[in-house]
């Protein structure tokens, strides 16, 4: 299970740890449009993406869908604000394409967390990286022009550009569809 070894990278893991991790995950298929989580439900499992693209979104105060994140190949899909404190989610998590995923329940994760010392270190490292990414994105929406954010997205996450509808990319970048179309035309002429 290369995707699991990729997702759970940490120098403290031993090969026997990966056997336990693999046994705790179930390979599943989800179709385009299916939800992994809906607002108001407590997340009770999380996923590793083998293939496909997933979008996380919320509705703003005017009822508009705002994309808060995308997750693609080899990435962890989780609502940490729901699964760990055991509270209802504020977000929707939806497959934008057909997806092959590895699912692990909250209880199985907790068991691994207590059974494998390296899992705790991996969890801290993963959470720190996700917090860094979140803070970086929030700051860049305020401090960087939209064109620069779009070019960065092309460079860092081409899967999103290739597979996500433009309206979702626009809300993720914090701009309108019209602004994104203008930026794409400008970028095409560079």
Question: CA dist 143 to 80, 140, 148, 152, Å?
Answer: 26, 5, 10, 14
Mean pLDDT calculated for residue range 50-76: 96
Identify the pLDDT of residue 127. 94
- For residue 7, give the nearest of 73, 55, 53, 52 by alpha carbon: 73
Mean pLDDT of the chain: 95
Cβ-Cβ contacts under 8 Å for 126 (sequence gap 6 or more): 76
CATH superfamily of 2-142: Jelly Rolls (2.60.120.10)
What are the contacts of 148-155 at 24+ separation with CB within 8 A? 149/173, 149/174, 150/180, 150/183, 150/184, 150/187, 151/187, 154/187
Q: Nearest to residue 118, comparing CAs of 22, 8, 1, 25?
A: 8
- Torsion angle, alpha carbons of 78, 72, 147, 183, to 10: -120
Q: Can you tell me the distance from the alpha carbon of 182 to that of 3, in angstroms, rounded to the nearest whole number?
A: 37
pLDDT tens digits for 104-116? 999 999 999 999 9
Res 1 pLDDT > 80: no
pTM value? 0.92
Beta bridge partner(s), residue 27: 102
Burial of 84 (0-12, 13-18, 19+ CB in 10 A): middle
> Is residue 130 packed enough to be buried (19+ CB in 10 Å), middle (13-18) or exposed (0-12)?
middle
| pLDDT classification of 190: cutoffs 50, 70, 90 | low
């Amino acid at each position: 299970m290369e995707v699991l070894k990729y997702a759970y990278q940490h120098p403290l893991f031993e090969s026997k740890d990966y056997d336990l991790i693999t046994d705790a995950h179930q390979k599943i298929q989800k179709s385009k449009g299916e939800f992994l989580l809906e607002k108001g439900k407590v997340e009770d499992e999380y996923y590793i993406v083998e293939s496909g693209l997933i979008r996380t979104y919320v509705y703003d105060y005017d009822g508009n869908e705002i994309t808060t994140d995308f997750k693609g190949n080899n990435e962890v899909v989780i609502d940490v604000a729901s699964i760990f404190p055991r509270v209802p989610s504020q977000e929707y998590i939806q497959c934008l394409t057909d997806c092959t995923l590895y699912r692990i329940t909250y209880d199985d994760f907790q068991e691994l967390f207590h059974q494998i010392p390296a899992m705790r270190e991996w969890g801290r490292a993963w959470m720190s990286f996700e917090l860094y990414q979140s803070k970086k994105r929030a700051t860049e929406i305020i401090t960087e022009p939209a064109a620069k954010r779009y070019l960065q997205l092309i460079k860092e996450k081409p899967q999103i550009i290739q597979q996500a509808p433009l309206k979702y990319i626009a809300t993720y970048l914090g701009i309108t569809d019209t602004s994104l179309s203008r930026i794409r035309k400008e970028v095409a002429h560079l």
